Structure 1
Amino acid sequence: MVTEQETDKRTESAQVRLLGPDDRDQFLALAGRDPVVNVFADYRARVTNLEPRWLGGEVWGRFRGSTLVAGCHMGANLVPVGCTADDMAAFADRALSRVRSTATIVGPHEPVAAFWDVVGDRWGPPREARWRQPHLQIDTDPAVRPDPLVRLTTRDDLPALYPACVAMYTEEVGVSPESGGGKDYYRARVQQLISRGWSFARFDEHGRVVFKAEVACATPYAAQVQGVYVHPDHRGRGLSVSGMAAVVELVRRRVAPTVSLYVNEWNSPARAAYARVGFTESARFSTLMF
């Protein structure tokens, strides 16, 4: 026979609610259990203070008593934080009570798969599913000589840099970031990364981008790199290796002590390049795009 006290404990252990500024410290402590894997959610909490109006979405928490045990960033990106399969089932129930607004589900493979097991039939097939992406990180000097021509970009570089960013995004994601009227937003995002000192590139003698990469998000503990791109005319020459070595050196000196990224499992050339730089695998991610 289940007692009333046991019922209360079960209800308490399954409590899911919206987080706000008062929960910021607990959420940062939760993310801090794996600060490299959780860098996106950690960064978002720091810059928005968990205010929904700044998040452009919500962050949910699962509690046992008054202790936060799991989190879920629910916006354009749905990202689990410190979640077990059971936590994700609870978040999935909450997600199904509203209209899907997320464009991407991304995070460690096990919680993403658990979430999708619950919502997949209702949300319909993703445009693309990348189930086992190696998550890589480095917290030492690069293992190869950095390209001395890779540098921080400036506002004056925008006319050359922006087309390279569009080309990389389109090649990687399969749709242009300018589609659906997104040009102004995406251009502003590239300008923002430049202004933060999070954009790095090498240019040829004609001012064309040869190699580029950006920091997508950063905390005092880690920075996540995105947008790694070598111009098609320059591929196969090892520029991604020396270029990423330069990015690692610059990011570790200027932004955060650990550099991370995740890469498609099938992208053997990129994986080999990152290994030569000194990146090691620390997790497997899954990304579902709608």
Structure 2
Amino acid sequence: MLRTFRPPATLRSEDLDAALRLAATDPVANVFVAARLASGGEYAAQNVIAMGGGGDDLRSMCWTSANVVPINLDEGELDAYAGKLRRYRRRSSSVFGLASQVLPLWDRLEKHWGTPRSVREQQPLMALTADDLNVEVAADQRVRPATMSELDLVVPAAAHMFTSEIGYPPFYGSDREYRRMVASLIRQGHTYVIVEGKRVVFKADVGSLALGVAQIQGVWVTPELRGHGMAAPAMKAVVEQVLGEHATTASLYVNDFNTSAVRTYERVGFQHRDTFATVIL
């Protein structure tokens, strides 16, 4: 039986199953946390603070690594979580998740954590299954999983995408840790590319995989080819391969001001499921 937490408290390793059950109440929204709980074992539990409900199950929780991700926090719990999270500022680079969770939590954290780089309050959370795919969009047959021999080609594309999206580069000085992260995605078969000559011209990653959901991230088209009709066919090919090999549902979230990307995803067949928000620190 799950203990009753003195809220909020660090998750115990024996409570991981309860945390996964809570994440599974909304697989599309919670796949990031679910994937890390599933793969991280006892170490993952150390990155979660949670509140229990009646000694039987978890009521709410918050992932607290480089990203802070709240799940199922209600109004009465926000102050308690914010108080616990105050000391995590130095290790966190963002707060993201459902806007209904992130924005009220950030209201309480901002006075302690300071002015963020950016607050993106409206990010459509989109998802599709195989039945939703638009048959009128032909998949780009050039899209395929990247190979380890292409790491040196993928890293610049990934870094360019990150810098354009977040506003600062993914590393300063040595790129060793960043290369390790990119290599891990390639090794798992989670990076899809179009390579022309000796350069990547399109890239997309499966960033999180759990609960039958694959969350796609890092979608990038080389700047000189944008607006030439590459994105939708390439994304159609990515989704077909992801759904065929990894999951029954593909999801992603996108900035609402990136209207061309939103239109591309809608054209492929993605449907709006909810709204995310991201605070970039």
TM-score (norm 1): 0.90
Matches within 5 A, 1:118-267: 118-141=108-131, 142-143=133-134, 144-179=137-172, 181=173, 183-204=175-196, 206-267=197-258
Gap runs ≥5 in structure 1: 1-11
Distance 2:266 2:6 in 1: 41
Distance 1:98 1:271 in 2: 33
Aligned partner (choices 34, 37, 40) of residue 26 of structure 2: 34
Q: Hey, what does 1:8 align to over in structure 2? A: none
Q: Which amino acid aligns with 1:64?
A: G
Once the two structures are TM-superposed, the CA of residue 128 in structure 1 deviates from its matched residue by 1.2
Count, aligned residues? 274
Deviations 1:56-81 (A, max 9, x none): 96201111221211010011000012
Counterpart contact for 1:57–1:76, Cα < 8 Å = no
Counterpart contact for 1:137–1:260, Cα < 8 Å = yes
Counterpart contact for 1:85–1:115, Cα < 8 Å = no
Query: What RMSD, in angstroms, separates the aligned Cα atoms of the two structures?
Result: 1.7
Larger radius of gyration: 1
Aligned partner (choices 271, 277, 281) of residue 262 of structure 2: 271
Aligned partner (choices 16, 21, 45) of residue 24 of structure 1: 16
Counterpart contact for 2:53–2:59, Cα < 8 Å = yes
Deviations 1:252-290 (A, max 9, x none): 111111111110010000000000000011111110111
Distance 2:89 2:110 in 1: 14
Q: 1:47 to 1:64 in 2, by over 3 A?
A: same
Counterpart contact for 1:15–1:64, Cα < 8 Å = no
Q: Does 1:58 align with 2:47?
A: yes
Q: Which amino acid aligns with 1:107?
A: G
Deviations 1:165-203 (A, max 9, x none): 111111111111122x45111111110000000000011
Once the two structures are TM-superposed, the CA of residue 100 in structure 1 deviates from its matched residue by 4.2
Q: Displaced runs of 4+ in structure 1, greater than 3 A?
A: 54-57, 97-100
Gap runs ≥5 in structure 2: none
The 3-state SS of whatever aligns with 1:118 is: helix
Once the two structures are TM-superposed, the CA of residue 44 in structure 1 deviates from its matched residue by 0.8
Counterpart contact for 2:214–2:251, Cα < 8 Å = yes
Counterpart contact for 1:62–1:71, Cα < 8 Å = yes
Once the two structures are TM-superposed, the CA of residue 87 in structure 1 deviates from its matched residue by 2.9
Q: Kindly, what percent of the aligned residue pairs are identical?
A: 35
Distance 2:160 2:279 in 1: 21
Once the two structures are TM-superposed, the CA of residue 82 in structure 1 deviates from its matched residue by 2.2
Deviations 1:68-105 (A, max 9, x none): 11010011000012222333332112112565421110
TM-score (norm 2): 0.93
Counterpart contact for 2:64–2:88, Cα < 8 Å = no
Distance 1:130 1:272 in 2: 19
Once the two structures are TM-superposed, the CA of residue 114 in structure 1 deviates from its matched residue by 1.2
Distance 1:84 1:209 in 2: 44
